[in-house]
Chains A and B, each alone.
Chain A
Amino acid sequence: MEKALNVRHLVKEYKMPKGPAFRAVNDISFEINQGECFGLLGPNGAGKSTTMHCVTGFYPANSGSIEIMGRDVSQDPKSARQQLGVCHQEETLDNDFSLIQQLESYAGYFGFAKEKALSRGWELLERFELKDRAHQLSEHLSGGMRRKFQVLRAMLTEPKLVILDEPSTGLDPEARRTLWNEINLFKSNGGAILLSTHYMDEAQRLCDRVAIISKGKIMDCRSPQELIAHYIGLDPIEEEIRPGYKLTRPPNLEDVYLKVTGQRLGGSV
């Protein structure tokens, strides 16, 4: 089966006003199968968003190749992006329109028929618990609702691959659960997901495979269970969470991250 995403030896450098260019992504390779959720786990500055900007084709890579469903994003960006949905880390909603109007105009950029866009739009609004907000401007929604809506929009055109850059930032536990359910549903319908997060529980729960990313490099990449078993073992961990107060808990990806990189994730909840 065709790979949903194939990234080979991606290098991305940012030009600096003074001095040499800064290499934010340093020769990373990975692939995502259809129906798979692939996580980039790393703290702020690890290079997750940079990788994603290259995958969308918005930032040109310095070297390496990127194919979405076999289509090269730099050679053939239109056809590659036809298969892609993106939820940026920043808010990029079109606040001039109501939710349902935004979905209609967004689908138009894909040449998606209006009726199909609307019927799928309504279905997703219902599932994301945003249906009663459909006729409001997105700027009138709470931050968490806007975030959910941005993920929804990425899934609207039934893309083969969605990129979700820290999708659950700013969500309350209830909204996060809705989002996680939708991500799992999207996946079970054969969609592939490239997800970045610095929440180890999110990575553990959603991702079939996790890449441990630090300073622009992938240190290791396996399923969460394998990573934990390989680096930490399966024994419970005793942790002093307050002076004099110890707790035993199962090992998690945070432990793996620390072991592999010597850094903390700084984002667990």
Chain B
Amino acid sequence: MLHSIFRVWKRYYDVFRKNLVYGVVTTFVEPLLYLFAFGYGLGSLIPTLDYMGVTLEYRAFIFAGIVGQTALFIAFFEGAYGGFIRMYYQRVFQAIAVTPVTLTEVLWAEILWDATRATFGIFAVLLIGSIVGDFSISGAIAYLPIAFLSSMLFASLGVFVASKAKTIEEIGYPQYLFIFPMFLFCGVFFPIERLPETVGFVVKLLPLTGVAVTARSFLLKTPVDWLSVSASIVWLVVFVPLSISSMKKRLVK
């Protein structure tokens, strides 16, 4: 099982390596742009802020938030758009799933690859955050496995969306109605304590909030909000198997 999954994962990795420049640009540039625009741009206007009772430099706060945003964007878009293309246009899943590799294994590899790619992007953010001294280096290293799990969560959301979309345009609905609002309201740019209480409660249940909270707790040694972290764990545990079974349902008649 693991062996077969690895072979398919390797296929994705080979595509990435083959188009390395494209891969690097699409993986690293976006998080770095956010880092500089918000970290240095906004960071120079807002020196510090209160986050869960801790005073943080805004730049450090934002850098750690961008870790979560990077997991969200790279993993979700690769899973949703990339997954849709591989399922619908290229029929890569169908082609591989008639070899000794099963469809379940192919889909695991899809999620693991999407998460791998997002983790590459996160690695760049961690590296810069550590170099400029905002992140705890030991925290950044310890965070890597969590970065991968966080990315798996968003990859599975992406694959789930791909499995439900009738056309590639339909991916726009969850993108604009779910992913972008999370990006704006789940604590990447400002502490969610600033939100009205009921909104804040709902936001805590969205998957990105717990991911951002976890990133900050590792990288900035801030307290953990267990409600949002538990919610993210539930999203992960539910959506990895759900996305696989939903994609199987779409393909297997």
Contacts and interface: CB of A to CB of B under 8 A. Distances in A.
B163 to A, nearest CB: 16
Contact of B98 (A58, A79, A91, A111): A58
B175 interface: no
Contact of A109 (B90, B91, B99, B253): B99
A194 interface: no
In the A-B complex, the 5 residue pairs with the smallest Cβ-Cβ separation, listed nearest first, are A92-B95, A109-B99, A92-B91, A56-B98, A86-B98
Nearest to B95: A92
Interface string A33-74: 000000000000000000001001111100000000000000
Interface in A77-129: 77-79, 81-82, 84, 86, 88, 90-97, 101, 105-106, 108-111
A14 interface: yes
Nearest to A82: B100
B10 to A, nearest CB: 7
Nearest to A59: B253
Taking chain A's interface residues, is the majority helix, strand, or loop, or is none over half, making it mixed? loop
B100 A58 contact: no
Contact of A95 (B90, B251, B252): B90
Interface string B232-253: 0000000000000000000111
B7 A92 contact: no
B92 A92 contact: yes
30 contacts: A15-B253, A56-B98, A57-B98, A58-B103, A78-B100, A78-B102, A82-B100, A86-B98, A88-B94, A88-B95, A88-B98, A90-B94, A92-B91, A92-B92, A92-B94, A93-B90, A93-B95, A94-B90, A96-B15, A96-B18, A96-B90, A97-B14, A97-B15, A101-B14, A101-B18, A105-B11, A105-B14, A109-B8, A110-B100, A111-B3
Interface string B1-14: 00110011011001
Interface in B43-81: none
Interface of A: 14-15, 53, 56-60, 77-79, 81-82, 84, 86, 88, 90-97, 101, 105-106, 108-111
| Residue in B8, B91, B94, B100 whose Cβ sees the most chain A Cβ within 10 Å | B100
B97 interface: yes
Contacts of A88: 91, 94-95, 98
B146 interface: no
A110 B97 CA distance: 11
A173 B97 CA distance: 32
A157 B239 CA distance: 36
A66 to B, nearest CB: 13
A84 B11 CA distance: 20
A164 B98 CA distance: 13
A20 to B, nearest CB: 15
Interface string B112-124: 0000000000000
Contacts of B99: 81, 106, 109-110
A260 B8 CA distance: 46
A110 B100 CA distance: 6
A94 B92 contact: yes
Contacts of B205: none
B96 A109 contact: yes
A82 B98 CA distance: 9
A58 B10 CA distance: 23
A110 B99 CA distance: 7
